[in-house]
Amino acid sequence: MRVAVYGAGQAGGAVAGLLRARPGVTVEGPFGRAERAAALGGGADVVVIATTSFLAEIAADVRMAVEAGSNVLTSAEEAAYPWATDAACADELDALARARGVTILGAGLNPGFSFDALVLTLAGATTGLRALRVSRVVDLSGFGTAVLRRIGVGHAEAAFAAGVASGAITGHIGFPQSMHVVAGALGVRIERVERELAPLVRDGTTAGFVQRYVAVADGREWFDARFTGHVDPAGEGLVTSDAIRLDADPPLGLEIPGGIGAQAGSAAVLANSVRRVVDAAPGWLTVAELPPARPA
Ligand X SMILES: NC(=O)c1ccc[n+]([C@@H]2O[C@H](COP(=O)([O-])OP(=O)(O)OC[C@H]3O[C@@H](n4cnc5c(N)ncnc54)[C@H](OP(=O)(O)O)[C@@H]3O)[C@@H](O)[C@H]2O)c1
Kindly list the residues in this chain that would bind ligand X in the complex (CB under 6 A).
Answer: 7-12, 32-33, 50-53, 57, 75, 77, 108-112, 144, 146-147, 174, 266
Nearer to ligand X, 52 or 211 (CB): 52
Distance between CA 223 and CA 182 in Å, rounded?
9
Nearer to ligand X, 111 or 229 (CB): 111
Give least dist CB 82 to ligand X, A. 13
CB-based contacts of 95: which residues, under 8 Å, 6+ apart?
none
What ranges in 68-215 are assigned the alpha helix state H?
Answer: 87-100, 117-123, 145-151, 157-166, 175-186
Nearer to ligand X, 11 or 27 (CB): 11
Give least dist CB 91 to ligand X, A. 22
Query: At 64, which amino acid appears?
Result: M
> How many C-beta neighbours within 10 Å does residue 204 have?
9
Nearer to ligand X, 95 or 264 (CB): 264
Burial 270-288 (b: 16+ CB within 10 A, else e): bbbbbbbbeebebbbbbbb
Give least dist CB 36 to ligand X, A. 7
Q: How far lies 211's CA from each of 40, 100, 162, 240, in Å?
A: 35, 39, 16, 15
Nearer to ligand X, 11 or 246 (CB): 11
Nearer to ligand X, 110 or 206 (CB): 110
Query: At 31, which amino acid appears?
Result: F
Give least dist CB 225 to ligand X, A. 14
Triad 173, 179, 180: Cα angle to 5°:
105
Give least dist CB 111 to ligand X, A. 5
Give least dist CB 128 to ligand X, A. 30
Distance between CA 107 and CA 287 in Å, rounded?
7
Closest residue to ligand X, Cβ-based? 9
